[in-house]
Amino acid sequence: MKVYFKRVNTEIQNPIPEYKTEGSAGMDIASASLKDIIIHPGETKLIPSNFILEIPKGYEGQVRPRSGLALKNTVTVLNSPGTIDSDYRGEVKVLLINHGKKDFTVKFGDRIAQLIISKCEQAELILSKNLSDTERGSGGYGSTGK
């Protein structure tokens, strides 16, 4: 599958999203901010990527955390996964939150998230007075085990 992209600013040459290994599910997204961005503990910042995607209809982009960033720095994607709709043509940005106890600095080119392109379907919701019964029923949080 091919996904076309363009840079927002062609003068900024931050790394484009890419798979780092043959078995990678996600492409790393790098910061395109020319200035360091400091995220204080408990704070969120929107980080630019400098690219716009043309995702085919029937697919979506998902912006997900990088596990190493979360483990080593307690920094993650706040709205995880963030959704990029196939008809969106604005710059992809990453909303990072610092759950740690010290400042975290994002520098130009730092890998800050990963991008997954995934097939998705649109559903037709049909109002009904009766739905099928299941063993679980209306059991909610924690109802399927400890």
Give tens-digit pLDDT for 3-20: 999 999 999 999 999 999
Task: For the chain, list residues with pLDDT below 70.
Answer: 143-146
> pLDDT tens digits for 63-79?
999 999 999 999 999 99
- The 8-class DSSP code of residue 103 comes to -
Q: How high is the pLDDT of residue 138?
A: 81
Is the previous residue joined to 81 through a cis bond, with omega within 30 degrees of 0?
Answer: yes
Q: What integer pLDDT is reported at residue 145 of this predicted model?
A: 67
Q: Which domains does the chain have, with CATH numbers?
A: 4-9+26-119 (2.70.40.10)
Identify which of 51, 44, 34, 45 has the alpha carbon closest to the alpha carbon of residue 109.
34
